[in-house]
Amino acid sequence: MRTLEVDLGDRSYPIYIGSGIRHSKSLFDQAIQGKQVMIVTNETVAPLYLDALVSLLAGDYQVDTCILPDGESFKTLDTYQMIMTRLLEVRHNRTTTIIALGGGVVGDMAGFAAATYQRGVNFIQVPTTLLSQVDSSVGGKTGVNHPLGKNMIGAFHQPQAVIIDIDSLVTLPRRELSAGMAEVIKYGLICDASMFDWLEVNMAEIMGLDSDLITEAIYLSCVAKSKVVSQDEREGGIRAILNLGHTFGHAIETEMGYGVWLHGEAVAAGSMLALDLSWRMGNLDNRDLERSADLFKAADLPILPPKEMRLDSFVARMSVDKKVLDGSLRLVLLEKLGTAMVTSDFPLDLFNETILDALEAVK
């Protein structure tokens, strides 16, 4: 088992990564507060892992469950309300612990419920998808979508622990595995060029779920994210670099309808748009673009936006992104491979050319 800590002072917490560790009662006992536990999961994950977790904890805790519909389209206030109703029905108090058992949607909504139930209760992340293991379960971002914008309703609320069992990836559809790999590649692009090099060498075996290599990929990703989060918990500065490709990607997700393109797919295409703009600004060379495109393709990810998108739809959707500040759109671009920057200072004509050329290429 690999262990690291997200250093946030009195809100610090451990991340555990290993095989079969969701069956380790001691890890849960260290993180659970009080005697009530609410396990929040969804209709896809519940048949696979819920009974085992209930059995593990039922002897020492009041264990209740809330099973949500599966999919990004259900990441809404109505679904969040299901969790709140369930907590109240079984009379959970402010010492309860909410356990998020599932992917990023479950983690975001269970975390938002934990942030707001009786003004904040304890919770544990047990992410079951690669995307949630390397990104959304770490850092305390929680929330739901609004029809006009992704993740526009939410709160920062740190978990008590993150328990990452790599065995859950065996049941993950290939498309979901690829979607998670978009975030892994992102860390190499924004802050760790040596990780990018390592991914180029090992991508085929990682996608084949080689135990040692997938564990290392998750560990390196969590190390990268935890370092950034420890410096900037609430995204007032450097943490924004974690959004490489996300402003473009969120526009794709919102325009296409949540769940049509998976988050990681949209981030991959969005990252290539950001890299293309960085190249047009003279920060990257052709070889950097080729290597990045090849790595995304090796993970079975798209490198172009959907053909249904238009320049005006990108602009309209990106204008309501959370990264808009004082009326100016901020983008995460690269200074060089392995180093990112957040800027509003990019030529509008090059921005337009990036999108238009990509849309032309996808026709």
Given the residues 75, 150, 263, 322, select the one marked as catalytic: 263
- Annotated active-site residue in 22, 150, 186, 225: 225
> For 269-289, what is each residue's pLDDT tens digit?
999 999 999 999 999 999 999
Q: Is 239 among the residues known to form the active site?
A: yes
The strand pair at 2-6 and 13-18 is best described as antiparallel
Neighbours of 348 (CB within 10 A): 9
Alpha helices in the chain (DSSP H): 25-31, 51-57, 77-89, 104-116, 130-131, 174-191, 193-207, 211-231, 246-256, 263-280, 286-298, 311-318, 348-362
At 248 the pLDDT is: 97
Catalytically annotated residue among 246, 317, 322, 323: 246
Say how far apart CA 260 and CA 107 lie, in whole Å: 20
Domains of the chain plus CATH, in order, are: 2-171 (3.40.50.1970), 174-362 (1.20.1090.10)
Instruction: Classify the C-alpha dihedral 99-104-106-107 as positive or negative.
Output: positive
Interatomic CA distance for residues 30 and 14, integer angstroms: 10
Which tokens sit at 248? Answer: 């473009």
Q: Is 205 annotated as catalytic?
A: no
Helix (H, G, I), strand (E, B) or coil at 143: strand
225: annotated active-site residue: yes
Specify the pLDDT at position 101.
Answer: 98
3-state secondary structure at position 310: coil
Percent of the chain predicted with pLDDT > 70: 98
Residue 267 CA: distances (Å) to CA of 48, 185, 304, 315, 350: 28, 10, 10, 16, 20
Tell me: the pLDDT tens digits for 320-349? 776 666 568 999 999 999 999 999 999 999
pLDDT per residue over 26-75, tens digit each?
999 999 999 999 999 999 999 999 999 999 999 999 999 999 999 999 99
Q: Pick the catalytic residue: 141, 150, 186, 317?
A: 141
Active site residue 23: no
Whole-angstrom Cα Rg for the chain: 20
Q: How far apart are CA 125 and CA 142, in angstroms?
A: 11
Count CB atoms within 10 A of the CB of residue 285.
Answer: 12
Q: Would the pTM of this model clear 0.85, i.e. be above it? A: yes
* Residues counted in the chain: 363
pLDDT score at 150: 87
pLDDT in tens, 222-273: 999 999 999 999 988 999 999 999 999 999 999 999 899 999 999 999 999 9
Q: One of 122, 145, 151, 243 is an active-site residue; which one?
A: 243
Of 176, 183, 253, 255, the active-site residue reads: 183
Q: Is 146 part of the annotated catalytic residue set?
A: no
Q: How far is CA 325 from CA 204, 241, 318, 320, in A?
A: 40, 15, 12, 10
Average pLDDT, the chain: 96
263 is catalytic: yes
Per-residue pLDDT tens for 83-141? 999 999 999 999 999 999 999 999 999 999 999 999 999 999 999 999 999 999 999 99
pLDDT at 325: 63
Residue 265 is a catalytic residue: no
**Parallel/antiparallel/unpaired status of strands 324-325 and 328-329:** antiparallel
CB atoms within 10 A of CB 106: 32
Q: In 3-state terms, what secondary structure has residue 261? A: strand
Q: Has 183 been annotated as catalytic?
A: yes
- What pLDDT shows up at residue 323? 60
**C-alpha 21 chain-centroid distance:** 21
Asked whether 117 and 95 are in contact (CB, 8 A), the reply is: no
CB atoms within 10 A of CB 218: 24
Q: What digits encode the pLDDT tens for the residues 63-73?
A: 999 999 999 99
Catalytic residue chosen out of the listed positions 22, 75, 157, 250: 250
Report d(CA 319, CA 324) in Å as an integer. Answer: 7
- Span 353-363, pLDDT tens digits: 999 999 999 98
Beta bridge partners of 155: 142
Contacts of 61 (CB under 8 A, 6+ apart): 32, 35, 36, 37
Distance in angstroms (rounded) separating the CA atoms of residues 358 and 363: 9
Query: What is the DSSP secondary-structure string of 5-65?
Result: EE--GGG-EEEEEESSGGG-HHHHHHH--SSEEEEEEETTTIIIIIHHHHHHHTTTSEEEE
